[in-house]
Amino acid sequence: MQEKEHKYYETIGNWDFDQIKYKTEKQTNWDFYEKIKEYTNKDSVCLDLGTGGGEKVLKYYPEVGKIYATDFSEEMIKTAKENLKAYPTRYVEFMQMDNLNMIFPESTFDLISARHTVIDAKQIYNKLKDNGILIIEGVDQKDCWELKELFGRGQAFHDKTPISKIDFNNLKDAGFTKIELTEIREDEYYETEEDLLALLLKTPILDDFSEEDNNNFTHRKEIEKELFNKYVNEYKTEKGILLKRVLYGIVAKK
Ligand SMILES: C[S@@+](CC[C@H](N)C(=O)[O-])C[C@H]1O[C@@H](n2cnc3c(N)ncnc32)[C@H](O)[C@@H]1O
């Protein structure tokens, strides 16, 4: 278990960004939930790993046979069960579980999804049925690079290998036969400085956070005002304050 990261998510207790005002302009067309839809049908048994407060699973997952959704944070699962009440027709079972210690029987799932969370390729391979599909969306090293360069730190800033490559190699080693890795680029425009600051204070974007070493994680509760102002001055546009997101998508077949 990644103790520091676990504590951070327990303290936050949800992954809800509805209070933050921003717009997204997609620069590429790979979409996580569209991919899940493409590879499932009304009978599919699915597992969503690191589901947070279930905000996205409940809102965006396609109609399938059954969704299991897990997270290692008790607080997140509490929030998810609370959020489920607003979706009485959704067939989702939320459970507390560590992605690195999955306790499902082998060959259980038609599809496993993991959005912005840690994975263990071998365990996922084991829990998928034959020909089962894994769909990942992750935050890549170059995400918010202009901001990270200015602050001289941030998520994966000092890592030697980007997490997209680490995942790709681990999936290959685990035995996945067909692996497609796609770069995803999105421009986000934050309405005000407060909105951007709220994002930076909630997420690990500017944290000392290594993807290569899961124990290297310290969440900062303050952002240096001077550097923040410098970024805002440089990236303020008519549409809002620009943040260039760089993510990656993976579709892998067992
Ligand atoms: C960035 S949030 C993403 C939440 C959700 N997937 C989404 O896209 O909105 C990461 C989530 O992964 C969970 N997480 C991190 N490491 C985990 C692990 N080892 N096992 C299970 N959940 C984990 C955290 O508790 C958190 O809820």
Q: What are the phi and psi torsion angles at 88 (to 5°)?
A: -60, -20
Task: Using DSSP, state whether 61 is helix, strand or coil.
Answer: coil
3-state class percentages of the chain: helix first, strand second, coil last, to nearest 5 = 30, 30, 40
Residue 220 has pLDDT above 80, yes or no: no
What is the 49 CA–ligand 1 centroid distance (Å)? Answer: 7
Q: Which residues pair with 94 in a beta bridge?
A: 69
Residue located nearest, by CA, to atom 10 of ligand 1:
117
Residues in the chain: 254
Average pLDDT over every residue of 39-68: 97
Q: Which two tokens stand for residue 181?
A: 């890795």
Whether ligand 1 lies within 6 angstroms of the CB of 73 is answered as yes
**Number of domains the chain is built from:** 1
Return all residues near 192 (Cβ < 8 A) that are at least 6 apart: 21, 240, 241
In angstroms, the CA 18 to CA 198 distance is: 11
**Burial 48-65, CB ≥16 within 10 A → b, else e:** bbbbbbbbbbbeebbebe
Determine the pLDDT at residue 13. Answer: 85
1-18 tens-digit pLDDT: 678 888 878 888 888 888
Residue 184 near residue 247, CB atoms below 8 Å: yes
Q: Is 98 close to ligand 1, i.e. is its CB under 6 Å away?
A: yes
pLDDT at position 12, please?
82
Spatial contact of 56 and 67, defined as CB atoms under 8 Å apart: no
Of 117, 139, 207, the one to substitute when testing ligand 1's pocket (max ligand atoms within 8 A of C-beta) is 117
Nearest CA to ligand 1 atom 12: 50
Residue span of the structural domain in which 130 resides: 3-14+21-253
Asked if residue 71 has its Cβ within 6 Å of ligand 1, the reply is yes
Share of the chain above pLDDT 90, in %: 83
pLDDT category, 207, cuts 50, 70, 90? confident
- Any idea what the CATH number is for the domain that residue 91 is in? 3.40.50.150
Say how far apart CA 240 and CA 250 lie, in whole Å.
Answer: 30
pLDDT confidence of residue 186: 97
Pairwise CA distance, residues 169 & 81, whole Å = 35
The model's pLDDT over 150-205, given as tens digits with 9 standing for 90+, comes to 999 999 999 899 999 999 999 999 999 999 999 999 999 999 999 999 999 999 89
% of the chain with per-residue pLDDT over 70: 98
Confidence (pTM): 0.94
The H or E element that residue 47 is part of is: strand 45-49
pLDDT tens profile 70-105: 999 999 999 999 999 999 999 899 999 999 999 999
